[in-house]
Amino acid sequence: MKILVTGGAGYIGSHMTRMLASRGYEPIVLDTFEFGHRQALPNGATVIQGNVGDASLIQRIFAEHKIHGILHFAGYIRVEESMRQPIKYMKNNVIAPVTLLEGMKEAGVKHIIFSSTAAVYGNPVTPLISEDHKKDPVSPYGLSKWAFEELLRVYDRSFAIRSIALRYFNAAGAALDGNNGEMHAEESHLIPLACAAALGKRPEFMIFGTDYKTPDGTALRDYIHIEDLCEAHILALEALFSGHQSDVYNVGTGQGVSVQEVVNVVKDVAGKTFNVRKSDRRSGDPAVLVSDPRKLMREFGWKPKHSDIRNIVESAMRWHATHPEGYSG
């Protein structure tokens, strides 16, 4: 069965591509390679360089391949950049993938899984965030994801395109076989930054905010190992293939881990200390962002198996230590 993986050369998409191939699916990767890495992809994968917003390319892909389902990862992901350049996020995360939906409509492709985010909720008003928590995105990034979720509801009602939006909390960690890991341009994610500090590739690690109302004063986040995250995609896709209706699910562990705890685990796993600088809070960073993942667990029998923070950090550290120059090394 052929599965189109947009953004399939990125951090999560490339892991997903490997998992699909190992489960007997035939992944077809579509990526601009603005940020993705060819070296992250398994040998023999079909790879198409191009944009989800390119209507004639999308038409051609659907004409040349019988696509059973789509995993849509393609998008821009930098929250702070989206504050400065909202239009860039609206174009790439909302307008471009509408072309994909139009192509699906024309070609009769009926199933799509969408990478959404906890950023659709904005500042939480409950300790655990369930799917029906109010949607009040603070950033244009979060807004772009919420807007595309709404578009999916339109295409469901009008054209019977069935979708599952998975709202990830913090995707983290590297492949357990050491084959691929997290490598974003202008890295802003906490675990790779802390690993880089531990490996001496950065002079220090910054903690933004140490006066939150949390047990140690630093912000609490919910980290999900990419292996568990990708497993949720397989379950969601197979549910759609079996006739599941369109829906939305959180993907997280339900456990908050503080920034300070992550730093402590990274130091412990690396067996090294590094400079940690404490700075003011960043605007728009909530104190606590922790999922209520029970809907996904209940309905799909999903359970995180690799998302213990030590396990996440060990896998990440292994990858960073063996790939000091990332994929370019």
Ligand X SMILES: NC(=O)c1ccc[n+]([C@@H]2O[C@H](COP(=O)([O-])OP(=O)(O)OC[C@H]3O[C@@H](n4cnc5c(N)ncnc54)[C@H](O)[C@@H]3O)[C@@H](O)[C@H]2O)c1
Residue 99 CB, shortest distance to ligand X, in Å, is 9
Contact 214, 289 (CB under 8 A): no
Q: Quick one: which segment of 31-39, 102-110, 234-242, 318-326 binds ligand X (CB under 6 A)?
A: 31-39
Give the other-Cβ count within 10 Å of 129's Cβ. 27
By CB under 6 A, residue 6 contacts ligand X: yes
What one-character DSSP code corresponds to residue 282?
Answer: P
Q: Say whether 141 is catalytic.
A: yes
Q: Looking at beta carbons only, is 191 or 265 nearer to ligand X?
A: 191
The minimum distance between CB 145 and ligand X, in angstroms, equals 7
Window of 6-14, 120-128, 213-221, 308-316 that interacts with ligand X by CB under 6 A: 6-14
Task: Map residues 98-137 to x or -, x wherever contact with ligand X holds by CB under 6 A.
Answer: -----------------x-x--------------------
- Binding segment (CB under 6 A) for ligand X, from list 2-10, 122-130, 204-212, 295-303: 2-10
Answer for which of 12, 143, 147, 317 binds ligand X (CB under 6 A) is 12
Distance CA 86, CA 82 (A): 5
Member of 35, 62, 89, 274 binding ligand X (CB under 6 A): 35
The H-or-E segment that residue 296 falls in is helix 294-300
Which member of 74, 113, 197, 266 binds ligand X (CB under 6 A)?
74
17/277 Cα distance (integer angstroms): 37
Q: In whole angstroms, what is the distance from residue 17 CA to residue 5 CA?
A: 7
Minimum CB–partner distance for residue 36 and ligand X (Å): 3
Q: Which stretch binds ligand X (CB under 6 A): 5-13, 241-249, 260-268, 290-298?
A: 5-13
Minimum CB distance to ligand X, residue 243 (Å): 26
Place of tokens 């090394």: 329
Is 208 or 217 the residue whose CB approaches ligand X more closely? 208
Binding ligand X by CB under 6 A: which of 17, 46, 82, 92?
92
Nearer to ligand X, 13 or 122 (CB): 13
DSSP for 147-214, written as a single string = HHHHHHHHHHHHH--EEEEEEESEEE---TTSS-----TT---HHHHHHHHHTTSSS-EEEE-S-SSS
Of 160, 136, 165, residue with least CA distance to 75 = 165
Of 11, 76, 89, 141, catalytic = 141
Report the helix count and the strand count for the chain, using DSSP H and E.
Answer: 11, 14
Considering beta carbons, is residue 87 or 160 the nearer one to ligand X? 87
Q: Which string of b and e fits 223-248 if b means at least 16 CB within 10 Å?
A: bbbbbbbbbbbbbbbebbeeebebbb
Amino acid at position 183, single letter: M
- 99, 170, 260, 307: which one contacts ligand X (CB under 6 A)? 170
- Give the C-alpha separation, 97 to 94, whole Å: 6
Backbone angles phi, psi at 195, to 5 degrees: -60, -45
Could you say which residues in the range 43-62 bind ligand X, by CB under 6 A? 51-53
Half-sphere CA count of 313, side-chain side, radius 13 A: 23
11 near ligand X, rule: CB under 6 A: yes
Q: Which residues contact 295 (CB under 8 A, 6 or more apart)?
A: 130, 131, 249, 250
**Contact with ligand X (CB under 6 A) among 25, 121, 168, 212:** 168
> Which residues of the shown chain bind ligand X in the complex (CB under 6 A)?
6-7, 9-13, 30-36, 51-53, 73-75, 77, 92, 96, 115, 117, 168, 170-171, 184
Active site residues: 141
